[in-house]
């Protein structure tokens, strides 16, 4: 476990799945955790009660809402951006408005949240964004727009790492492969195809993703920045 005692932490997109596991891990390790949610009110309130954290309703697709919620927390020690959308299908028939909303959530929200957090983040702060192995590899049809959003995070992290490096603030991307969540369950219809691509033929758990995130937020990772950290069972190998 990492000692995050009194480290002020904001998780954007924390009510379910990987986000909830991150909230639980950081709270268990002593952090002062707040997290946002959009539609999962009951899940968010239950998680907040379970972990002693604070749930904040905020739409990650709304740039002003994102920057407002970051600014309202005051100086943050750790920012984790987990909010994400996944739209797959024939590029010729997908709803352009839905694709633009995915771009807002997957690219614009992490960028604007990171910049706003860095305005007041103390020396040695941590910015971590949950991306996807699909930023490196898209092995099936229908994922062009989603993969584009995850690849964009890579350039963002490299650039912001240089922008904030003089203050010891690190910027990293965690890139999960297939992970057992309600969006992509380990026994779901896509599981067989996903496991075929993997060297270790099982889905990751949300807790494993949270563990890597905690490491990157901890003192041993103070020299790691501008990097992509793939945790995918060899999906992209």
Kindly name the residue from 37, 111, 146, 203 that is annotated as catalytic: 146
Tokens (6 digits) for 47: 């998680």
Average pLDDT on 160-189 reads 94
Q: How many CB atoms lie within 10 A of CB 197?
A: 19
Reported pTM: 0.96
Residue 104: name the closest of 60, 156, 38, 57 by CA.
60
pLDDT in tens, 25-60: 999 999 999 999 998 899 999 999 999 999 999 999
Tokens (6 digits) for 91: 């590029």
Tokens (6 digits) for 50: 């379970």
| Range scoring the smallest mean pLDDT among 160-169, 184-193, 194-203 | 184-193
What is the C-alpha to C-alpha distance for residues 2 and 66, in angstroms, rounded to an integer?
28
**Percent of the chain predicted with pLDDT > 90:** 92
Q: What is the widest separation between alpha-carbon atoms in the chain?
A: 50
132's torsion region: left (phi>0), alpha (psi -120 to 50) or beta?
beta
Residue 130: name the closest of 86, 190, 97, 195 by CA.
86
Q: How many CB atoms lie within 10 A of CB 234?
A: 13
Cα 75 to chain centroid distance, Å, stands at: 20
Residues contacting residue 188 through CB under 8 Å, at least 6 positions apart: none
Please report the pLDDT score of residue 40 as a whole number.
Answer: 86
Q: Per-residue pLDDT for 62 more than 80?
A: yes
Average pLDDT on 7-22 reads 97
Query: Phi then psi for 137, rounded to 5 degrees?
Result: -145, 130
Average pLDDT on 123-143 reads 96
Residue 116 pLDDT level (bands cut at 50, 70, 90): very high
Q: Per-residue pLDDT for 229 more than 90?
A: yes
Q: Is 215 in the active site?
A: no
């Amino acid at each position: 476990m990492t000692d995050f005692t009194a480290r002020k932490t904001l998780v954007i997109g924390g009510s379910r799945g990987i986000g909830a596991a991150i909230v639980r891990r950081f709270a268990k390790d002593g952090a002062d955790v707040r997290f946002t949610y959009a539609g999962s009110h009951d899940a968010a309130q239950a998680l907040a009660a379970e972990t002693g954290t604070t749930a904040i309703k905020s739409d990650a697709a709304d740039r002003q809402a994102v920057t407002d919620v970051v600014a309202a927390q005051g100086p943050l020690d750790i920012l984790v951006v987990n909010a994400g959308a996944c739209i797959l299908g024939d590029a010729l028939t997908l709803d352009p408005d839905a694709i633009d909303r995915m771009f807002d959530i997957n690219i614009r929200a992490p960028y604007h949240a990171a910049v706003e957090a860095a305005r007041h983040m103390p020396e040695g702060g941590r910015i971590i964004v949950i991306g996807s192995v699909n930023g490196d590899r898209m092995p099936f049809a229908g994922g062009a727009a989603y993969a584009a959003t995850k690849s964009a995070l890579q350039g963002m992290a490299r650039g912001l790492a240089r922008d904030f490096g003089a203050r010891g603030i690190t910027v990293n991307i965690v890139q999960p492969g297939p992970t057992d969540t309600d969006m992509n369950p380990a026994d779901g219809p896509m599981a067989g195809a996903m496991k075929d691509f993997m060297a270790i033929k099982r889905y990751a758990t949300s807790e494993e993703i949270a563990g890597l995130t905690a490491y990157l937020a901890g003192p041993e990772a103070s020299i790691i920045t501008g990097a992509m950290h793939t945790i995918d069972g060899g999906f992209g190998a």
